[in-house]
Structure 1
Amino acid sequence: MDSALYNRHILRLATALVANHRLDDPQGTAEVRSPLCGSRIQADVTTDAGGCISQLALRANACALGQASAAILQDNAIGLDIAEISDLRDGIASALKRVGEMPTRWPDLALLAAACDYPSRHAAILLPYHAILAAAKTRNVQT
């Protein structure tokens, strides 16, 4: 295990998600999988009248990086609209490819930058964002 990649902060975040967390009445639900690494993320999403995320439940069967990314998103996504989630995903993807800087919206995102040198881990990091976007498209979640 690479200590620069799987440091104590990443491992702390990886254990932060509540197992089997579900919303009682989500507006959208989706499961996405990474064919590259086999990681799986499930998302339940509810938005308010303005199209901002009002409730979110993420469940992860992923590596520590995928779980950490999901935990960061779970802790911070309430109040964002779906376009902001998409923009964050795109910014993180660019940063992981060293095409741009890691978004600074949430300090914990900086922890994911250690994965730049590990392209096989990028899909797992982006998977929670894909799950929310897919859930938003499943049933009347405003985009």
Structure 2
Amino acid sequence: MSDGTDLIKLYSARILALAADIPHLGRLETPHASVTRRSPLCGSTVTVDVVVNNGKLEALGQDVKACALGQAAASVAAAAAIGATYQQLVQARDQLRAMLKAQGPVPDAPFDGFEVLTPAVEYKNRHASILLSIEAMVEAMEQATAPAS
């Protein structure tokens, strides 16, 4: 069981600052795709709107209702996502998942800001909330770039 010192480290001033200042907060009026993801364990919910042009994320909107860790992750993801391709977002998601679940390295730049969440590796019940935003971005990019049927 973790003690109070571990929780203080987990909810560091840097994490709380990121949670309080999430870029691209709010919904887009005319997104190319929108995705809502929810963590059944804690109830955190993130809705992501994207506009994609020339295979790159041009505009992003987020509605984030999550714990401080989920909010901080949404902040890091949003700060790095504009201009990213679908493949770059997939790589960032996969690297973040590996960092959390397999103690892998911090995701590559420009998503290396996820380093702030390394203390959460020990808190498996928080992983789903941390992954919500980047997973929603990947899914929305996939929908926005899928060929019309």
Structure 1-normalised TM-score?
A: 0.90
What residue is the counterpart of 2:19 in the other structure? 14
CA RMSD of aligned residues (A): 1.9
Closer, same or farther: CA 77–36 of 1 in aligned 2, 3 Å: same
Which structure shows the higher helix fraction? 2
Per-residue CA deviations over 1:96-116 (Å, capped at 9, x if unaligned) read 123421114144211011101
C-alpha contact (below 8 Å) 2:57/2:83 kept by paired residues:
yes
Query: What SS does the aligned partner of 1:97 have?
Result: helix
Query: What SS does the aligned partner of 2:8 have?
Result: coil
What residue is the counterpart of 1:25 in the other structure? 30
Q: Rg: which structure is higher? A: 2
Identify unmatched segments of 5+ residues in structure 1: none
Structure 2-normalised TM-score?
A: 0.86
Give the share of equivalent positions with the same residue, in percent.
34
Query: 1:118 & 1:6 partners in 2: Cα distance?
Result: 12
Query: 2:12 & 2:72 partners in 1: Cα distance?
Result: 11
Query: 1:113 & 1:20 partners in 2: Cα distance?
Result: 24
Q: How many residues align?
A: 141
Identify unmatched segments of 5+ residues in structure 2: none
What residue is the counterpart of 2:119 in the other structure? 114
Query: 2:138 & 2:73 partners in 1: Cα distance?
Result: 15
Q: Which runs of 4+ in 1 moved over 3 A?
A: none
What residue is the counterpart of 1:83 in the other structure? 87
Amino acid at match of 1:37: C
C-alpha contact (below 8 Å) 1:18/1:59 kept by paired residues:
no
